[in-house]
Every structure is written in C-alpha cells, then in structure tokens.
C-alpha cells in the first residue's frame, strides 16, 4: 500500500507543482502581454533554435551506439533515435520513466538486456552531469566579479565567508563520516558515488571514447547555442549579456528536474536568472515560455511519431519471430 502511495505521489506532486508554477508565472505577466511578445517574436530564430535542439537529440542517439557496441550490440540508428525521442516525451508524464522506457524499447526491438541498456543510460547521464558541472565552473570563473559583487550587495561579506567556511567544514565532516560509517544510508551513498566514478571512468575504456566525448560536448554546445539563438527572437533581449545567457541556461536546466519537463518552472527559472542582470520581467518570462514551448513542441512531434512508427519500423523483425 505504501509503495503504491509513493508511486502516486511521484507522479502527482511534480504535476501539481508544475500546474502551480504555470499559474504563478502567468500571474507575473498577463496572458495578453505574453501573447504580444509571442506575436512579435522573430520565428526565424525560434525555428533555428528548434533545429539546433533536434541536432542535439540526434547526436545523443548516435552517441548511444558507441556505448552499446563494446558489449556486442549493434543496434539500428533508427531505433536509437526513436527511443531517445520517446524518452523525452514520456518524461513529460512520469518523471524518469522515460529512461526505463528507452531501455525497454531497445530490449524489445534489439534484444539488448534491460540492465545493460539501462546501465549505459546511467553512464551517459554521468557524462552529461560532468559537462554541466564544467559549464557551472566556467560560468563562475568568467562571471566571478559580477557574482561576487551581486552577493556582496545583497548579503554581508562576513556572512558569506562564514557560510562558505561552514559549508566546506560540513562537507569534509560528512565525507569522513560516510567513509567510516557502515549504516544503510552511508553504504547506499558510497555505492552511488563509487558507481558514478566507475561509470565516468568506463567512458574512457570505450573503443570510440573520443567520438563519445566529442558528441557529449556537441550535445551541450547545441543546448547552449539553442538557448542563445532563441533569445534573438525577442527584440527586448537584444545585446543580452553573455553572463545572463550562461546563468539563465544553468538555471533553466535545473528547473527541468523540478517539474515534468520544466512545466511552469522553466520560465520562472529564466526570469530569476535574468533579473540579476536587471533584465525586465515581461520579456524574461515571455522568452522562457517561447523557449520551453518551442522545444516541447519538438519533443511532442518527434516523440509522438517515434512511438507510432517504432512497431512499423521493426515489423520485419516481429514477423520473423512469429
């Protein structure tokens, strides 16, 4: 009974949060004002942003082949592409269910054992997390003076130093405790961290490791470029600071984890980031909605077609088995 309640809450809570954030973000700017920005937007840049998003998804599907090949599985690129798009679409309904569906699709149509397929997905998420961490570090380095000045302006410098020292002390203390402790939670954390390290190192054991690294960087390069290019669609964001783009991108990326596909949270995350740079509320939220809606439309279109076409694409294999 408890397991059923937990499953239900995992589905209901992100959706409920998404609905609330949609209402809240629209309360910050009227629907009429939002539609003005939507109508005035330059759709050439929006379409270019969608194309760059499409390239990143295709690159992700191609990258997956490099992970499966060393295990002796040469899957069809078409199945990989459709599995990736199905993943994104399903994640809009049930968080993280898309990854399970992706591994299941390859199990059903290519005969890859589920645990092996899912393991490669976990490994690629680790690679993505490392790149994201790299983007955050680069942003902090490039925008250090601005970020430091902003924090000093908003908070007491002494409190910031005390907070940082306290945080470092707590991290060191927590790390030492986890290393020595044999409690169930500590063992789970150690297993998880060891898995992350092992997964990250396994990438460099691939035959085509540098091709994998190239595609990983290409995927995130397209994500960033897609975000930047789409900002050109709104005149009020002309000449936007590079720091605003980087911080806005990071904030928006994290918002996707908060609700299903960033429903409601995505525009607010961009507004929160842009407001640091003094960018007006209305164009910030309008850009957030345009950015989110264009990429969501891309996922709905290709994800829906993928789910429909998968059994047709693999009908010869199904007929042979029958």
Helices and strands: H and E segment counts in the chain: 14, 0
H or E element that contains 132: helix 114-142
Gyration radius (Cα) of the chain, Å: 22
Which pTM was predicted?
A: 0.80
Mind listing the pLDDT tens digit for each residue in 224-262? 999 999 999 999 998 888 888 999 999 998 888 777 777
Compute the distance between CA of residue 195 and CA of residue 213 in angstroms, rounded to an integer: 19
Compute the distance between CA of residue 121 and CA of residue 102 in angstroms, rounded to an integer: 9
Mind listing the pLDDT tens digit for each residue in 137-163? 888 888 777 666 666 665 666 766 777
Residue 58, φ and ψ in degrees, nearest 5: -65, -40
Distances (CA, A) of 32 to 35, 268, 282, 318: 5, 18, 11, 51
Residue 151, C-beta contacts closer than 8 angstroms, at least 6 positions apart: 160
The tokens for 100 are: 């399970």
H or E element that contains 120: helix 114-142
């Amino acid at each position: 009974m408890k397991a059923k309640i937990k499953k239900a809450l995992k589905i209901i809570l992100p959706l409920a949060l998404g609905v609330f954030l949609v209402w809240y973000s629209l309360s910050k700017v009227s629907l009429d004002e939002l539609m003005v920005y939507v109508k005035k937007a330059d759709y050439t840049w929006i379409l270019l942003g969608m194309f760059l998003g499409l390239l990143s998804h295709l690159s992700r599907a191609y990258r997956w082949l490099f992970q499966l090949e060393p295990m002796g599985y040469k899957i069809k690129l078409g199945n990989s592409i459709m599995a990736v798009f199905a993943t994104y679409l399903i994640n809009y309904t049930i968080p993280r269910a898309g990854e399970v569906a992706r591994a299941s699709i390859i199990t059903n149509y290519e005969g890859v054992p589920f645990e092996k397929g899912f393991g490669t997905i976990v490994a690629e998420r680790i690679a993505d997390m490392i790149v994201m961490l790299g983007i955050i570090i680069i942003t902090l380095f490039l925008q250090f003076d601005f970020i430091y000045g902003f924090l000093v302006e908003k908070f007491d410098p002494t409190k910031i130093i005390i907070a940082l020292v306290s945080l470092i002390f707590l991290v060191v203390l927590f790390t030492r405790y986890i290393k020595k402790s044999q409690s169930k939670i500590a063992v789970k954390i150690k297993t998880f961290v060891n898995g992350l390290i092992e997964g990250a190192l396994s990438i460099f054991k691939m035959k085509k490791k540098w091709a994998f690294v190239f595609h990983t960087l290409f995927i995130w390069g397209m994500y960033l470029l897609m975000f930047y290019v789409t900002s050109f669609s709104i005149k009020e964001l002309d000449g936007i600071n590079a720091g605003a783009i980087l911080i806005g991108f990071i904030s928006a990326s994290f918002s996707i984890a908060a609700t299903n596909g960033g429903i409601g949270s995505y525009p607010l995350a961009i507004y929160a980031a842009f407001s640091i740079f003094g960018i007006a509320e209305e164009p910030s939220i309008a850009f957030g909605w345009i950015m989110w809606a264009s990429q969501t439309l891309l996922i709905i279109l290709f994800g829906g077609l993928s789910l429909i076409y998968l059994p047709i694409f693999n009908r010869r294999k199904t007929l042979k088995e029958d």
